[in-house]
Amino acid sequence: MTTENQTKIYTPDAAFAAAANVSGMAAYEALCKEAETDYEGYWARLAREFVTWKTPFTKVLNQDNAPFFKWFEDGTLNASYNCLDRNVERGLGDKTAIIFEADGGEVTKVTYSELLAKTSQYANVLKSMGVQKGDRVVIYIAMSIEGVAAMQACARIGATHSVVFGGFSAQSLRDRIEDTGAKIVITADHQVRGGKKLPLKSIVDEALTLGGCEKIQNVLVVKRSGAEIAMTEGRDLWLGDLAAQQSTTCEPTWVEADHPLFLLYTSGSTGKPKGVQHSTGGYLLHAALTTKWTFDLKDNDVFWCTADIGWVTGHSYITYGPLALGGTEIVFEGVPTYPDAGRFWKMIQDHKVSIFYTAPTAIRSLIKAAEANDAVHPKSYDLSSLRLLGSVGEPINPAAWEWYHLHVGGGRCPIVDTFWQTETGGHMITPMPGATPLVPGSCTLPFPGIQVAIVDETGNDVPNGQGGILVVKKPWPSMIRNIWGDGERFVKSYYPSELKGYYLAGDGAIRDANTAYFTITGRIDDVLNVSGHRMGTMEIESALVSCTELVAEAAVVGRPDDTTGEAVCAFVVLKRSLPTGDEAKAIAKKLRDHIGKEIGPIAKPKDIRFGENLPKTRSGKIMRRLLRSIAKGEAITQDTSTLENPAILD
C-alpha cells in the first residue's frame, strides 16, 4: 500500500493479527482507552495479571513526593520467583529456558528447573558471604547462563545488581564499583568473543587497585576459559566450586515493590555516568507486559534478543521479560561477524528462532557483508522459522528497514521498531505487531498506557507535523526511580521545572501530520549514540584532557556514520606544535588508547583532528554547532561573526 507522498505502509497480515496477543487496532485502541479512562485501574489490572505478588498491593500510584513516584508500594514480591519458581509450579520445569550458544558454536541448554537450581545455589553462595537485602553486587561478565543466573540470584535475595558491560575499562568499572558501594564483584576469568580470549578478572584486579573500592570483600569468579589466572587469597573465589557445595533451593526474599532491583549506569550530557535505579514490581510488570504485547511472545516461540546483559535491553529482554513469561530464549556469547557475517542467520536457522530483536548498526553492517558475499546473505539460510523482527537502540533508516523486512523477514514478518531508554525500563513507543500498520523509520505509536507527547521548551504541546521535545506526561510503572545516591541530579535531569512535571526523555521527535506516528529525530543534549551505545561527549572530552602530557583542550561532537549511526569526532589542541603525517597518526593512536583505558574501546573516536585552537565565541564558549558541520564535511553556513578567532576555520 502506498500513500500520496509514496511512504510505504505495511499493514499486519490478517492471520498474524488474528492470533496476536494484541489482535488489531480495535484491541490496541481499547487498551489505550482503558488507560485513559482509569489510569491507575489499568496498571493495577495488568500488575495483578502479569506479576505474582506475595502480598497483594492495595495502593497503585503514590505521587505525594513527585517526581519520586511509587508504584504498588504496599505489595511484596520477588523477581526471581516470578521468572523461575512460578514457571516450574506451572508445570514448565522441563521446558528449555535458555539455549546458550558459545562463541565457538557449542550449545548448552538449561530448563527452568535447572536454571532455578543454579540461581538458588548462587543465591546461597551470596548469602554465605554475608550479602543481604539491599546490598549491591557488581557483575562484570560476558553473555552466559552464569551471567543471567547471577542477576537472578541477586534478585532472589533482594540484593541490587549492577551489571557493567564487559567492554568497559578498569577505570569505568572502578567508578561504578565505588558509586554503588558494592560488597561483591561477580566476574569470569575471561570472555571469548570473535575467537579471541579477552580478560575480565584481570581488569577487575586492576579496578580494585585504583582506589575507592574498599568495600569489596570478595570477587567471585566463573570459570570460562579455564586458563591460569591470578587469584588473591582470601578475596577471590571460584563461584562454581562454592555453588556446588550449596543447596539447590533457596527461599526467595520478598521485597517491597519499589525495592531497587538493579542499578545500571548510563551517560548523560554532564558529569560521570549516572546510576539509573529501577524498582522490582513496576519494572518487572513492564518487562513482562512488553515482551507479551510488543514481541507477541507465545509458548512455543524461540526468542532471541542479541543485546548484551550489560545494557538495559539485555536486562529487560533476556534476564527478566522472556523468563517471566516462561519463554525459551537464546543467549549468544559471540559477535555477529564470527566466524563470518552469516552467524546470526545460521543461528536463526539452527535454533528455529521465531522472534529476533537486534540493533540497526548490526543490520547495517550485515547488509554490507551480505551484499559483498552471497554465502553470508540471509537468502543462503532457511529463515522460515521467523515470524517477528525487532529493532532497538537507535533510529533505523528506511533502507535498512526495507532490507531487514525483505531479506531477513522474507517480506512476511512485522518489524517492531521499539523506542525506549535505560531510564524507561521497557518499550515506550512501538508498534503492536498484530495491530499497527508499519512505516519504515517510524516507531509509530505509544505503548498502550504510556502518555508520550511532543512539547516546546515550556512544556506546551506542539501540533503534529512540528518537531519538538519528547516527554512522558504521566508516571509509568517501570520508570527510573532515582539516580543512585543523587536525587537532585535525578530531578534536574529528568524533571526540569519548565516542563510542567513531565519526564524529559532527552530526544527530539516529530509526529506525522496525517498518521500521528512518532519519528525520533535524535538527542537534544550532548549525548551521542554510536552503534546504539550511549555516550556523553563530556565524558570523552574529560578522558582526552586527562591525557595531561599531550592535550591542552578538546571538544567532541558526533557526525553521521553509515554503519554506526553516529561516529565520535574529536577536535584536539595539543600542548605542542601541530603534528603532521605519521607523527599525527601516532599521537591519534595514543589518544585513542588513552580513551580505551579511561572509558573503554567503544568510546574511541573515529576521527581525531588537531588544531591550533578551538572555535570559540568571544565569551569563550566552544562553538559545537560549527564543529559538527566541520565533522560532517559540510560547508559552514552558521554565522561566524561572533567567533573570537575566525582564522581558526581554515
- Interatomic CA distance for residues 362 and 264, integer angstroms: 23
- CB closer to ligand PRX, 314 vs 326: 314
Q: Which of 520, 555, 556, 557 binds ligand PRX (CB under 6 A)?
A: 520
- Interatomic CA distance for residues 510 and 648, integer angstroms: 36
Determine, following the binding rule CB under 6 A, whether residue 443 of this chain makes contact with ligand PRX. yes
Q: Which of 243, 312, 318, 603 binds ligand PRX (CB under 6 A)?
A: 312
Determine, following the binding rule CB under 6 A, whether residue 506 of this chain makes contact with ligand PRX. yes
- CB closer to ligand PRX, 252 vs 393: 393
- Interatomic CA distance for residues 256 and 162, integer angstroms: 19
Write out the three cell numbers for 360: 540497526
- CB closer to ligand PRX, 403 vs 420: 420
Residues 237-256 that bind ligand PRX (CB under 6 A): none
Quick one: DSSP state of residue 603? G
Determine, following the binding rule CB under 6 A, whether residue 518 of this chain makes contact with ligand PRX. no
Burial 194-214 (b: 16+ CB within 10 A, else e): eeeeebbbebbbbbbeeeebe
Per-residue contact string for residues 390-429; x = within reach of ligand PRX by CB under 6 A: --xxxx---------------------xxxxxx-------
**Closest distance between ligand PRX and the C-beta of residue 504, in Å?**
11
Q: Which of 346, 523, 594, 606 binds ligand PRX (CB under 6 A)?
A: 523
- CB closer to ligand PRX, 175 vs 507: 507
- CB closer to ligand PRX, 285 vs 429: 429
Look at strands 302-305 and 328-332 and give their pairing.
Answer: parallel
**Closest distance between ligand PRX and the C-beta of residue 402, in Å?**
16
**Closest distance between ligand PRX and the C-beta of residue 529, in Å?**
5
- CB closer to ligand PRX, 422 vs 478: 422
- Residue type (1 letter), 117: A
- Interatomic CA distance for residues 496 and 504, integer angstroms: 8
**Closest distance between ligand PRX and the C-beta of residue 429, in Å?**
8
**Closest distance between ligand PRX and the C-beta of residue 630, in Å?**
23
**Closest distance between ligand PRX and the C-beta of residue 62, in Å?**
26
Q: Which residue of the chain is nearest ligand PRX when measured via CB?
A: 422
| Range list of β-strands (E), 241-397 | 255-256, 262-266, 274-278, 302-305, 328-332, 355-358, 388-392
Write out the three cell numbers for 353: 528462532
Q: Kindly state the number of chain residues that form the binding site for ligand PRX, as judged by CB under 6 A.
A: 21
**Closest distance between ligand PRX and the C-beta of residue 507, in Å?**
5
Give the number of other Cβ atoms within 10 Å of residue 193's Cβ. Answer: 17
Determine, following the binding rule CB under 6 A, whether residue 164 of this chain makes contact with ligand PRX. no
**Closest distance between ligand PRX and the C-beta of residue 198, in Å?**
22
- Interatomic CA distance for residues 639 and 298, integer angstroms: 57
Write out the three cell numbers for 131: 550479602
Span interacting with ligand PRX, options 14-22, 184-192, 218-226, 503-511, rule CB under 6 A:
503-511
**Closest distance between ligand PRX and the C-beta of residue 577, in Å?**
39
Determine, following the binding rule CB under 6 A, whether residue 600 of this chain makes contact with ligand PRX. no
- CB closer to ligand PRX, 520 vs 626: 520
- Interatomic CA distance for residues 68 and 64, integer angstroms: 8
How far lies 65's CA from each of 88, 449, 532, 634, in Å?
39, 22, 33, 48
- Interatomic CA distance for residues 380 and 345, integer angstroms: 9
How far lies 379's CA from each of 303, 370, 375, 376, in Å?
21, 9, 9, 8
**Closest distance between ligand PRX and the C-beta of residue 401, in Å?**
11
- Interatomic CA distance for residues 316 and 111, integer angstroms: 20
Residue 509 phi/psi, 5-degree rounding, is -155, 165
- Residue type (1 letter), 197: K
- CB closer to ligand PRX, 381 vs 420: 420
Determine, following the binding rule CB under 6 A, whether residue 454 of this chain makes contact with ligand PRX. no
Q: Which of 113, 529, 531, 537 binds ligand PRX (CB under 6 A)?
A: 529
How far lies 25's CA from each of 20, 33, 43, 420, in Å?
11, 12, 20, 22
- CB closer to ligand PRX, 246 vs 266: 266
Determine, following the binding rule CB under 6 A, whether residue 507 of this chain makes contact with ligand PRX. yes
Residues 342-401 that bind ligand PRX (CB under 6 A): 392-395
On whether the CB atoms of residues 570 and 540 are closer than 8 A, the answer is yes
Residues 262-301 that bind ligand PRX (CB under 6 A): 266
Q: What SS3 class is residue 510?
A: strand
CA angle 371/377/382 to nearest 5° reads: 160
- Interatomic CA distance for residues 339 and 632, integer angstroms: 33
- Interatomic CA distance for residues 311 and 301, integer angstroms: 23
Residues 532-561 that bind ligand PRX (CB under 6 A): 534
Positions in the binding site for ligand PRX (CB under 6 A): 266, 312-313, 392-395, 417-422, 443, 505-507, 520, 523, 529, 534
